[in-house]
């Protein structure tokens, strides 16, 4: 049973049943997430697409040279590429339960390390100075990378100029960003027992 302290207007402790982190499953979820983000725009020209004449270089027989066709063949400089990459999607399907379990494990990992902070109201005016003061009061001095997940637009606006903070709305909660930041700061409402089905993911790895 994980106990998560909540700071803010209604300070309290949230108790959650979180699974023990499994590195293999977390790796699987992160790989899936990053695969969806790949642009897949790499493209090469085949021998029919390069700018080269299609005329046969010289006679098939009698020259003593190797038998060649046109200069667009892959074995010539400037020729086409054989089996080169073409635009494609790298996305694939990962079961919903695996994605949900991965997110729960990522939260569990940060909770076990004491790097998970739940917040019930930031009460900020959108100014960076205000967020820096709030962060110092809660043990964050910029030495750690912070993943801020909140639907409080003023809090996100106040933090967006800080290089050590990545701010996203709750819809952007995802395993990859949790694991690549040392500390997670999240709206307490997301972690309430009634909502522990784990938020659903959208396509670009913005939520599992």
How many angstroms from the chain centroid is the CA of residue 57? 51
| pLDDT given at position 194 | 47
User: CA–CA separation, 160 vs 127, rounded Å?
Assistant: 10
3-state secondary structure of 46: coil
Task: Taking residues 77-102, report their average pLDDT.
Answer: 96
How far is CA 117 from each of CA 24, 89, 97, 110, 114, rounded to the nearest angstrom?
25, 36, 25, 9, 8
Q: Where are the alpha helices (DSSP H) in 54-127?
A: 96-112
**What is the CATH classification number for the domain harbouring 177?**
3.40.1370.10
| Shared-domain flag, residues 132 and 143 | yes
Is residue 195 pLDDT above 90, yes or no?
A: no
Give per-residue burial for 94-132: e unless 16+ CB within 10 Å, then b.
beeeebbbbbbbbbbbbbeeebbbbbeebebeeeeebbb
Q: Tell me the pTM.
A: 0.80
Write out pLDDT tens, residues 32-78. Answer: 999 999 999 999 999 999 999 889 999 999 999 999 999 999 999 99
| Shared-domain flag, residues 15 and 48 | no
Sign of the CA dihedral with 129 first, then 146, 9, and 188 last: positive
Write out pLDDT tens, residues 102-133. Answer: 999 999 999 999 999 999 999 999 999 999 99
Task: Taking residues 154-164, report their average pLDDT.
Answer: 95
| pLDDT given at position 193 | 64
Range of the domain at 79: 40-88
Is residue 206 pLDDT above 60, yes or no?
A: no
| pLDDT band per the 50, 70, 90 thresholds, residue 196 | very low
Angle between helices 23-37 and 96-112 (to 10 degrees): 120
User: CA–CA separation, 175 vs 33, rounded Å?
Assistant: 8
Residue 142 lies in a domain: yes
* Per-residue DSSP letter, 118: E
Domains identified in the chain, total number? 2
| pLDDT given at position 71 | 92
**204's tokens:** 């670009």
| pLDDT given at position 203 | 44
| Shared-domain flag, residues 131 and 181 | yes
């Amino acid at each position: 049973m994980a106990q998560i302290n909540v700071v803010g207007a209604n300070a309290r402790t949230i108790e959650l049943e979180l699974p023990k982190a499994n590195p293999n499953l977390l790796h699987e979820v992160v790989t899936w997430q990053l695969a969806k983000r790949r642009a897949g725009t790499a493209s090469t020209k085949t021998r029919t697409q390069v700018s080269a004449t299609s005329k046969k270089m010289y006679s098939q027989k009698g020259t003593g040279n190797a038998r060649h066709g046109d200069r667009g063949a892959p074995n010539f400089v400037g020729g086409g590429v054989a089996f080169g990459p073409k635009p494609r999607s790298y996305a694939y399907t990962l079961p919903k339960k695996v994605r949900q379990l991965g997110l729960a494990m990522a939260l569990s990992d940060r909770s076990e390390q004491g790097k998970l902070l739940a917040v019930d109201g930031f009460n900020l005016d959108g100014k960076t100075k205000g967020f820096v003061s709030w962060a110092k009061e809660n043990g964050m001095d910029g030495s750690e990378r912070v993943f801020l997940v909140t639907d409080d637009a003023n809090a996100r606006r106040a933090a967006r100029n800080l290089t050590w903070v990545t701010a996203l709305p709750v819809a952007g909660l995802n395993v990859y960003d949790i694991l690549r930041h040392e500390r997670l700061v999240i709206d307490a409402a997301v972690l309430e027992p009634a909502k522990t089905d784990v938020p659903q993911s959208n396509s670009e790895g913005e939520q599992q």
